[in-house]
Amino acid sequence: MNLELFTIHEGASLREALARLEQNHQGLILTTGGSGSVTGLATDGDIRRKLLDGASLDDPISGFVNRNFVWADSSSPRELLLKQLDNVIQAIPVLDKNGILVGMVSRDNFPRQIELPTYARARSPVRISFGGGGSDLTHYFAQEGGAVINTTISLYSHATLRRRLDSQVLIRSSDLGTTLQAENLEQAIAQQGSFGLIQALLKAVHPDFGFELYLNSDFPINSGLGGSAVVSAAVLGCFNQFRQDKWGLHELAELAFQAERLYLGVAGGWQDQYATVFGGFNFMEFRMDQNIVHPLRIPHDVLLELEASLVLCDTGTQHDSGDIHKDQREQMQQVDIRQKVQSNVELTYRLRNHLLRGRLLQFGQALHEAWEFKRQFSSKISNQLLDKIYEEARAHGAVGGKLLGAGGGGFFLFYVTPFRKLELTSKLESAGLNVRPFRFEQEGLRAWSTRELNNHLGVETS
């Protein structure tokens, strides 16, 4: 649009103004002063009325303009512009901070909605597992079917990602307490340090842009809550926001598995990735041809009572799940260990049925059976300290329970009857253990995008 057709010096005549009006076809003309700033507006109707009242075509336009006219600037809301054009206004001049005409808005020339910079956020929940652990290892279910039962809870890993205009990579993790900086993706993947999991994810995703990634979690590292899969899901969820062809839930879980198991080389099963991505109560079956996630429709009252009957306890000790899984794989060469894992799988079906029927006391008792099976899979799963914690918990109200994750440390989960819960939590806390409140989380990975201008006062620099 030629903006010169909309302006005329305020000393010009009505004749010249009419000629300019004829050229712009918008039915209005703007007058400008010596500095070029707009001083007034006149419509063709205004000029015609003045001529009918006796004005001469040689009179200056400045005597007939409206000094109090409607105009817009670059920050004017689109909603307001739409409403003005939908009323009686045909065209709206756009002025800069000096009053210079920089654009015209009309029904046929409405400002295009441009894409603004965005950033992505994601959060993914941890899981607590009730039974079937060990049967989700590929080397086990390659021969016999595996099954686990788990749910996600209200502890999360959080990730924030934004694209850069250059190829640089910046990753900050409050969990690790350190930062990775590199000139490009290749250098970021090649760097030595503590970002092995994130580097494995970058290898799997291979983004074609520079970025900044910020990470933090609500739980400690090596907690037995499936934390590495949870961090992976949050990171993948952020990158997925910048894709046109978005990954589905199975693909996200498989990418997380690919990064941790194949690229990073950490031994482990499949349930963590599916649990955090899908979320909620799930019964999962594992076979070589496919993994199946069955959401469980547990009555609401049963869920509330189960939530109130579980106690999550941080032992304050860390574990190496990969090392435990390696040992467990060796132990599974023994026929009797594989039989125990199979018995644990059968117990998982019973756990599922107890939940669906609301038989929570039997569910708690079955948790005890699950722990008795699990601790026999490897000598690294439990130790004297963990055995003592479990025995003390059983002596103070716990019907059953189990160590979460691969074992060796992290979190204990206990089922306790309602009138002994206070006794149990008091005993655990008096022993210096940290009881963590939680709620069941029915949703899995959540990811979303936000315009940077909506949440930033200005451009943030690293």
Say if strands 211-217 and 291-295 run parallel, antiparallel, or are unpaired. Answer: unpaired
Cβ 17 vs Cβ 61: under 8 Å: yes
- Compute CA distances 372 → 42, 130, 339, whole Å: 89, 13, 14
Q: Scanning the structure block, which residue is given the tokens 């794989």?
A: 329
DSSP output for 87-111? TT-SEEEEE-TTS-EEEEEETTBPP
**381: closest CA among 224, 157, 151, 210?**
224
Catalytic, 272? Answer yes
- Compute CA distances 146 → 39, 114, 149, whole Å: 79, 51, 11
Cβ 261 vs Cβ 185: under 8 Å: no
What is the token pair recorded at 360?
A: 């929570």
Strand boundaries in 132-219, DSSP class E: 146-163, 169-173, 178-182, 211-217
| Catalytic option among 272, 314, 320, 323 | 272
SS3 69: coil
Rg of the chain on CA atoms, in Å: 33
Residues serving a catalytic function are: 272
